Structure 1
Amino acid sequence: MFTRATQVLGATVFGADEAAIGTVSDLLINDRSGLVTAAVIEAGGFLGLGTEAHEVAWQRLVWDERLGGYLLPDLLPDGPAASLSPA
């Protein structure tokens, strides 16, 4: 199965509590293998101002059909800030 990058970019990302935490703004691709290794998540801010970019390993993201976006099941609402590392 394949997914177009245009379907991933802009998708909403949800935490374990199913609250929206941001959107996918970019994908990081391994030069040698051609595989997606990480997604860049834009989180925080208001109307695009003050957002922070965070790099998240691609394997951490799970598509959730019901939510219509990606779920980070290991990101707890009160979890450590290290769960999202700066990109």
Structure 2
Amino acid sequence: MNIPAKAIVSNSEMIKNYKSCREKAENLGKVFVLKNNQPDAVLFSITEYQRLSILIEYMESLEEKDISKVIDFLPKEGVRKMYSMSNLKNDLEE
């Protein structure tokens, strides 16, 4: 996943300037928070959260064979966590 530099904030910036970080998340969809130069958290806009919630609910409603079809359509480029069917199903149930 490529993260645009403008979508990254430090943990201390988040603490000091939450309102501006929230506004940035609203404009960009999400903001990645770094702590000690390592990924620590993601702040989603409510719009992005709702969009992802719909996708998660849809995935949870699928049968295993249909989940396989969805996985086949996922991009093959870049670094992605690889899932077995049981891992994907477990992750979706959490």
> Do they fold alike, i.e. is TM over 0.5?
no
Query: Which TM bucket (shorter chain)?
Result: under 0.3
* Relative contact order higher in (CA < 8 Å, ≥ 6 apart): 1
Could you tell me the TM-score, scaled by structure 1's length?
0.26
Larger strand fraction of residues? 1
**Structure number having the greater helix percentage:** 2
Q: Which has the larger radius of gyration?
A: 2
TM, length-normalised to structure 2: 0.25
